[in-house]
Structure formats: structure tokens, C-alpha cells
Amino acid sequence: MTGATIQAKNGVNGAVSAVLKSLKDSGCVDAVLVPTRVKSGETFVYLLIRNPKMLDSCAPLPPVMPVQGARALQSLTRHGKVEQTVLCVMRPCEVRASIELAKRRQVDLENVLFMSLDCPGALRTRDYVNDPEALDKRYQGILNNWEGDGLRPTCETCVHFSCEDVPVDLHVGLVGTKEEEAVIIGVSKRGEELLDKAGIECSEDVSAWQVEVEKARDKKAGNRSKVVSELKDKAAGMDNLGLLFADCINCHNCMRVCPICYCRQCFFDSSDQVRLRAEDYFAKAQARGGIRFPGDMMQFHLGRIYHMGLSCVGCGACEDGCPMDVPVSQVFAFAGDEVQKTFDYVPGRSTDEPIPTLTYEEDELHEYEDA
């Protein structure tokens, strides 16, 4: 693999926005979809930018991820493909979620290019809005040392923070690079062409960066197995699960911010599917002595694991959006890991891999059936 060193004296965001500008100026990109700080300064949103000047103030790697990028891309292509080329600058988990949505025909990838960056994780959005300045500083520290406090719990254990198994066109390497420097790599053929047209010559060997990525991944993988096995013990069984979800107020925020949950009418919001009549609730209460209201809390959470555990990219958006600090994404991470392994499936790895429940082999999984 080869790439080019870019100077990051004004931080990663400055360096990458300069690259974005030259890509835009070269004419091979018509628009850029990229996070940008809002005027109040407290948070970030995605902007679809056509005016190159506005790229000056974009933030390709913001300290937080208030909106999952796949959601932004989904809104953009809701009515079908974009006619002009758009470059989406996203964290790796946002790219992977976009791929999963494309498989579900909720995103159209034609004319869409992806650029990702090595991601050290995202800080909790609620913490950030309370003190953006202090958290900006903290994030700078995290970028320098590749660790620090206040990250989303799932980010601490994320092994897909770089571009391996993430189908991007361009990638910005940050792990272990010299301070004030980053590397840019054309990962796909199209990515290489883009850099070429923008006059960015990619002839440097980047194996030093690759080695650092491996090291960082090993460390995160270690974290992951530790955290997963701890949580697994804590969550096992109906009683424990009940405790884990006990604080849930049924706001369904976790579902609404999840990039993978796309149904316009959610099963769990549909009165026909899950709501019963008063007399049925009475019967239930009679049989159990009493029942909880609002009901179906467990059905909602376990049901979501069923519906999207296979595609969960572990972005942590659900947990970040939860007002009650329910460890939703952590439960998803460990339940999801196992089902994904059963089908040897890595969500977001490739558009060519069908979602496991939408395909089959005739001769398989005999341990689950009784013939």
C-alpha cells in the first residue's frame, strides 16, 4: 500500500479539508457530505457542501457523532441515486452502516464515494454540548495518544476503526503517524484516480502506519473480549436482562437514532402488532398478579436484537442517544458478535455479501434443526 503524507499543523481537520478542497477543485467531486460545526459551536451536523470555500470550516473528524452519517446519506438518496458525484467523509462505522443500508435498499451508492479516517472513538454528545472547549482539548489528547476518557463504551472496544474491512475509496491514516502529520491513501481504484487527478502523488510506503494500526487493533480486540465476557455474565438470564434494561423509559430514541433501523413504521410502534386491548391486559395482569406499563419493554429490546443484531456496526449511536444511560449498544455488541460469527458475517464489509437471513445454503446449520 502506498500513500502521501499530508501536513496537519492546524490539526487533522485542517489537513483533510485542504485535501477535500483540491478534490473539489479538480472537478471530479461535485459535492462533499461532511460534518461541520453548527454556529452555536456546541455540536456538529452533516453538510452537503458545494461551495469549496465552506470546506474551510468543515470538521472531517469531529469529537462527537451526534448524527450517524449513514442517516445523512439515507436522507440524501431517499428518492434514488444522486446524479452528481458526492464524496462522503465519515467515520468507518458510518461507512459500514451505509453499506448495510444499501443492502436493504435504503441508500443508493451510485455516484457515492467514501473517505474515512482512523477513528479513536467519539465522545459522549451530552458531555460535549455542556463544555465544548474542554472536550475539544480532551479530544486532541485522545488523538495524540490514541486513548483517553469519556469515549463511547463501544468505541473503546471497536476493532473496525481503520480501513480494513471497510469499503472506502480514500482513507486518512492517523494512528502512530508523526505529530502534525497524517497519511492519505487511495484504497480503491477510484480513490487512486481521484488523488491522481487532484495532483496528490501517492508513492510513499505506508507500512509503518499499517503496523501501528495492527498494534492498536490487537489492543482493542483484547479490550473487547474482556468487556464482552464481563457483560455477558452480568446480562445472562431474564432477571439480569431485566436489571440491565430497568431504567428504560420506552422513549424508543435508541431505535430512532440507530442507522440500521430504517422501517418507516416500526413494528414496536404499531398499534396492531403490539398493543392489546384493555381486557387482554387485565387477563395478563390476572395471570401474573400485575404487569408493567408502558409494556413490552423487553420485547422491544430483544426484538431489535433480532431485527438488526446481524447488521449492528457497533457505532454506539443508540446508547449515545439514550437519556437513561441504558447500555443498549453494549448488549447489542455482544449479542451481535455471536450471531454475526454464526454466519461468518461482518456487517458493512462488502456490498457483495448478502445479509445472512436473505440467503441460504441447502446443506448447512443442521445442528439447529431436528430432521
Question: Interface residues with ligand SF4 (CB under 6 A)?
Answer: 154, 248-254, 258-260, 312-318, 321-324, 326, 328-329, 332
Q: In DSSP terms, which residues pair with 49 in a beta bridge?
A: 32
Instruction: Identify which of residues 211 and 251 has a Cβ nearer to ligand SF4 in the complex.
Output: 251
Instruction: Identify which of residues 197 and 307 has a Cβ nearer to ligand SF4 in the complex.
Output: 307
Q: Binds 324, which of ligand SF4, other proteins, none (CB < 5 to 8 A, cut-off by type)?
A: ligand SF4
Q: What does residue 64 show for φ and ψ, rounded to 5 degrees?
A: -125, 165
Residue 227 lies near other proteins (rule: CB under 8 A) = no
Q: How far is the CB of 102 from ligand SF4 (least distance, A)?
A: 15
- Measured CA to CA, the distance from residue 126 to residue 150 in angstroms comes to 11
Stretch that binds other proteins, among 3-11, 117-125, 131-139, 265-273 (CB under 8 A): 265-273
- Measured CA to CA, the distance from residue 314 to residue 337 in angstroms comes to 9
User: Residue 258 CB: number of other CB atoms within 10 A?
Assistant: 25
Size, binding site for other proteins by CB under 8 A: 55
- Measured CA to CA, the distance from residue 94 to residue 34 in angstroms comes to 12
HSE (CB half, 13 Å, CA atoms) of 27?
Answer: 0
Instruction: Identify which of residues 173 and 314 has a Cβ nearer to ligand SF4 in the complex.
Output: 314
Q: How far is the CB of 225 from other proteins (least distance, A)?
A: 14
Q: How far is the CB of 319 from ligand SF4 (least distance, A)?
A: 7
Task: Pick from 236, 294, 323, 350 the residue near other proteins by CB under 8 A.
Answer: 236
- Measured CA to CA, the distance from residue 318 to residue 81 in angstroms comes to 27
Q: Provide the b/e sequence for 173-194 (b: ≥16 CB within 10 Å).
A: bbbbbeeeebbbbbbeeebbeb
- Measured CA to CA, the distance from residue 197 to residue 115 in angstroms comes to 16
Task: Pick from 83, 149, 344, 362 the residue near other proteins by CB under 8 A.
Answer: 362
Contact call for residues 248 and 153 (beta carbons, < 8 A) = no
Residue of 94, 95, 314, 64 lying closest to 187 (CA atoms): 95
Q: Which sign does the torsion angle of CA 158, 160, 162, 168 carry?
A: negative
- Measured CA to CA, the distance from residue 269 to residue 249 in angstroms comes to 14
Q: Hey, which bits of 98-161 come out as E strands? A: 112-117
Q: How far is the CB of 143 from ligand SF4 (least distance, A)?
A: 22
Q: How far is the CB of 149 from ligand SF4 (least distance, A)?
A: 20
Q: Binds 312, which of ligand SF4, other proteins, none (CB < 5 to 8 A, cut-off by type)?
A: ligand SF4
Task: Pick from 277, 278, 344, 352 the residue near other proteins by CB under 8 A.
Answer: 277
Residue 132 lies near other proteins (rule: CB under 8 A) = no
Task: Pick from 207, 342, 350, 351 the residue near other proteins by CB under 8 A.
Answer: 342
User: Residue 14 CB: number of other CB atoms within 10 A?
Assistant: 17
Instruction: Identify which of residues 132 and 267 has a Cβ nearer to other proteins in the complex.
Output: 267
Stretch that binds other proteins, among 16-24, 214-222, 236-244, 321-329 (CB under 8 A): 236-244
Residue 303 lies near other proteins (rule: CB under 8 A) = yes
Q: Which sign does the torsion angle of CA 250, 227, 303, 356 carry?
A: positive
Q: How far is the CB of 266 from other proteins (least distance, A)?
A: 12
Residue 226 lies near other proteins (rule: CB under 8 A) = no
Residues 6+ apart with CB under 8 A from 89: 16, 20, 32, 33, 34, 35, 58, 60, 115, 116, 117
- Contacting residues toward other proteins, per CB under 8 A: 232, 235-238, 240-242, 246, 267, 272-274, 276-277, 280, 283-284, 287-292, 295-299, 302-303, 305-307, 309-310, 334-335, 338-339, 342-343, 356-362, 364-365, 368-371
